[in-house]
Chains A and B, each alone.
Chain A
Amino acid sequence: AQSVTQPDIHITVSEGASLELRCNYSYGATPYLFWYVQSPGQGLQLLLKYFSGDTLVQGIKGFEAEFKRSQSSFNLRKPSVHWSDAAEYFCAVGGGTDKLIFGTGTRLQVFP
């Protein structure tokens, strides 16, 4: 069965520090993978996606993610976090249907 695991419920970093949010998935075939960001009381904004090709994907706002098939992972990274990056981050996987399966989310807190 499809599933997405985000092991970190809450992460706190200092502004300017690097960031890595973990995402592991379970899927029978090559997955379509997504990272979304949600600010409080808002909908979801797509940061980046992976369908095929280059396993290092660049997204908006300076984010990138790397697809590692051997580890079933799609971790999100940013070299230098800004205070405005504080939000909830969701990893999602899709595949043979139109459904997206979301992880439980990671709340990012940024200290000045």
Chain B
Amino acid sequence: GAVVSQHPSRVICKSGTSVKIECRSLDFQATTMFWYRQFPKQSLMLMATSNEGSKATYEQGVEKDKFLINHASLTLSTLTVTSAHPEDSSFYICSADPPGTSYNEQFFGPGTRLTVL
């Protein structure tokens, strides 16, 4: 099946610094990837849709200047949390929709736990 990886799996940073999270599709090319945020014991909330070669589409209420998304290639999307603060601490999960699969069939990465001190 399609495999999506994320790096790092866990990161701790100081308040005010920026953190970059990578999402890679290992065995397929993905023109579209998705970034979700999950608070403890809560559901996944879609933050943005990452489109290869064009700007990401952000969901309402998500600050585009704070959560920078770059989909530089067909196998890599990055999420940069700029000037991170403790309230940005969360579990970030990416997914990708491989070509040729059924509509909306997304494959998820293992997630990145961000802790901002």
Interface residue ranges, A against B (CB under 8 Å): 32, 34, 36, 41-46, 49, 51, 90, 94-95, 98-100, 102-105, 107
Contacts and interface: CB of A to CB of B under 8 A. Distances in A.
Contacts of A102: 43-45
B109 A104 contact: no
B111 interface: yes
Interface residues of B, number: 26
Given A51-B103, A98-B49, A45 B108 contact: yes
9 contacts: A32-B103, A45-B108, A51-B103, A98-B49, A99-B49, A100-B34, A100-B46, A100-B106, A105-B41
B43 A42 contact: no
Contacts of B109: 43
B103 A105 contact: no
Given A41-B111, A45-B108, A98 B32 contact: yes
B103 A44 contact: no
A94 B104 contact: yes
A102 B32 CA distance: 19
B106 A43 contact: no
Nearest to A101: B46
B102 A49 contact: yes
Contact of A32 (B32, B42, B104): B104
Interface string B78-102: 0000000000000101010100001
B57 to A, nearest CB: 9
Contacts of A94: 103-104
Contacts of A95: 104
Contacts of B103: 32, 51, 94
Nearest to A10: B41
Nearest to B45: A102
B42 A104 contact: yes
B111 A104 contact: no
A75 B28 CA distance: 31
